[in-house]
Amino acid sequence: MDQVKEQTGGGRRPWVVGVSGASGTPYAASVLRALLAAGESVDLIVSRASRLTLLDETGIAFRDARWRDDLREWLTRGADGKPHTFPAPDLDGVRHWAAGDLAAGPSSGSYATRGMLIVPASTACVAGVALGLSKDLLQRAASVTLKEGRRLVVAVRETPLNGQTLRHLVTLDEAGAVVLPASPAFYAGATHIQDLVDFVAGRTLDAAEVPHRLYRRWEGELGRGARP
């Protein structure tokens, strides 16, 4: 029975977080920290391409066999790459699935989840999900999320966007996904790169209706962004 409970997730209903190969791994780190701080469970899928981006942007080699150690190191780094910026998180609520594991829990609609956040989402990932390719677990989990009518947030990170990608994004919107460009805002009084990253992460979590305190919200008063 315990084995069945582990395989099906039991009463656990995680957010699936997919990290694709687009630049912007600090966005994913901020989202993951905030989900864990909110007491949410997380199923993590780190694509093969995103591991190259993570290595390039942080120097961290994400390995399936040592994912806990690598994830812990990643989540303690700030957006500027400085280590030990954040306290080491409790990873008991995190389950990692290898990107090539198409028999993983999130590959099936009977596996209960709250929804899925793809952050950052590359244009290749966007195309794969829009076309239903399911070439890896990240794309398959996104397709499952859509077919089950669960919340899918796609934080696309690319510029400029060509017509083909725009059409793919319209397809995702029509399928029920939330298309959320990784576009930082400045009215919240950003003074550091981490503030800009946290704004995008916060908007991603807003779309998922997960409470957080990552940025200062607009309250209809001009000039607040210039205040400390």
Neighbours of 178 (CB within 10 A): 18
Q: What value does the mean pLDDT take over residues 124-145?
A: 98
Q: What is residue 179's predicted lDDT score, i.e. its pLDDT?
A: 98
Per-residue pLDDT tens digits for 54-88: 999 999 999 999 999 999 999 999 999 999 999 99
CA distance 190 to 101: 39
Q: What is residue 227's predicted lDDT score, i.e. its pLDDT?
A: 59
Which stretches does DSSP call E strand in the chain? 15-19, 42-46, 94-97, 115-121, 151-156, 178-179
Which amino acid type is present at position 131?
Answer: L
Per-residue pLDDT tens digits for 19-55: 999 999 999 999 999 999 999 999 999 999 999 999 9
Of 57-66, 172-181, 218-227, which gets the smallest average pLDDT? Answer: 218-227
Q: What is residue 8's predicted lDDT score, i.e. its pLDDT?
A: 44
Residue 91 has pLDDT above 90, yes or no: yes
pTM of the model: 0.92
Query: Is 107:137 a contact under the CB 8 Å cutoff?
Result: yes
Q: What is residue 224's predicted lDDT score, i.e. its pLDDT?
A: 63
